């Protein structure tokens, strides 16, 4: 063969994968690009790709890491800046921001969420940094509201989980594409239905 592939620096390979995948995904859309294509474009074997990333969801998650981080930082900053406004208001603000992020990165997120098979001690969405960040954020807000006696009686852990997971990509897509709801309306309705009723009147 023209050039026997030398053992590459592992870091080099990782960078190449990320760079190539980002390029391909941007060009053809996340859905349409197969792992085989990514491997071929990156000049590595499929086995090599799968050794780094268990599946496409994993790969996307890694490519989204930066986006998630900045989103999380934005939310943190926002909540810090607004820390004197009512909890409920901050909660609504967070949801609005999340919806915009969700909409913006929809293609990626819908690929990431795909994996089924919820077995114990396995990497799932529920162990991922994005879930954990949202969990912490919502949990803190609910706890704060509870301490201030602004919250109805709730199982806070359950509620936190439910608020995060109740918005599936399919459902979002359905509301947006089929029902034609603008994002602002979706966010507003979600707050109206799922967030605000958790707070005591007054």
Partner DNA sequence: GATATTACCGGACAATTGTCCGCATGTCAA
Partner DNA sequence: TTGACATGCGGACAATTGTCCGGTAATATC
- Where does this chain bind DNA (CB under 7 A)? 4-8, 10, 13, 32, 34-37, 39, 43-48, 50-51, 54-56
If you write DSSP's letter for every residue of 93-153 in order, what string do you get?
Answer: HHHHHHHHHHHHTHHHHHHHT------TTS--GGGSHHHHHHHHHHHHHHHHHHHTT-B-S
56 contacts which partner out of a copy of itself, DNA, none, CB within 5 to 8 A by kind? DNA
6 contacts which partner out of DNA, a copy of itself, none, CB within 5 to 8 A by kind? DNA
Tell me the C-alpha distance between 82 and 86, whole Å: 9
**Which stretch in 19-27, 47-55, 65-73, 170-178 sits in contact with a copy of itself by CB under 8 A?**
170-178
6: Cβ–Cβ under 8 A, 6 or more apart, which residues?
none
Q: Under rule CB under 8 A, which residues in 103-162 are in contact with a copy of itself?
A: 110, 114, 116, 118-120, 124-126, 152-155, 158-159, 161-162
Tell me the closest approach of the beta carbon of residue 139 to a copy of itself, in angstroms: 14
- Of 61, 44, 53, 176, nearest to 114 by C-alpha is 61
Q: How many residues does the chain have?
A: 202
133, 101 Cβ separation under 8 angstroms: no
Compare residues 34 and 70 and give the one whose CB is closer to a copy of itself: 34
159: Cβ–Cβ under 8 A, 6 or more apart, which residues?
142, 198
- 199 forms beta bridges with 151
Tell me the C-alpha distance between 134 and 98, whole Å: 9
Tell me the closest approach of the beta carbon of residue 59 to DNA, in angstroms: 9
Residue 34 in contact with a copy of itself, rule: CB under 8 A: no
51 contacts which partner out of DNA, a copy of itself, none, CB within 5 to 8 A by kind? DNA
46 contacts which partner out of a copy of itself, DNA, none, CB within 5 to 8 A by kind? DNA
Residues that bind a copy of itself (CB under 8 A): 110, 114, 116, 118-120, 124-126, 152-155, 158-159, 161-162, 165-171, 173-175, 177-178, 181, 186, 189-190, 192-194, 197-198, 201
């Amino acid at each position: 063969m023209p050039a026997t592939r030398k053992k590459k620096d592992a870091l080099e390979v990782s960078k190449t994968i990320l760079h190539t995948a980002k390029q391909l995904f941007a060009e053809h859309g996340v859905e349409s690009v197969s792992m085989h294509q990514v491997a071929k474009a990156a000049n590595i074997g499929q086995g090599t790709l799968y050794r780094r990333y268990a599946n496409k969801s994993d790969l996307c998650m890694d490519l989204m890491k930066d986006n998630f981080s900045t989103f999380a930082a934005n939310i943190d900053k926002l909540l810090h800046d607004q820390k004197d406004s009512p909890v409920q208001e901050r909660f609504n603000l967070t949801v609005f921001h999340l919806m915009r992020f969700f909409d913006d990165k929809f293609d990626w997120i819908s690929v990431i969420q795909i994996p089924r098979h919820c077995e114990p001690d396995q990497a799932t969405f529920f162990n991922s940094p994005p879930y954990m960040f949202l969990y912490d954020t919502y949990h803190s807000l609910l706890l704060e509201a509870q301490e201030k006696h602004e919250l109805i009686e709730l199982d806070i852990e359950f509620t936190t989980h439910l608020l995060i997971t109740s918005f599936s990509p399919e459902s979002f897509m359905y509301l947006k594409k089929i029902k034609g709801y603008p994002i602002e309306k979706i966010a507003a309705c979600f707050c109206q239905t799922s967030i605000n009723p958790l707070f005591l009147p007054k």
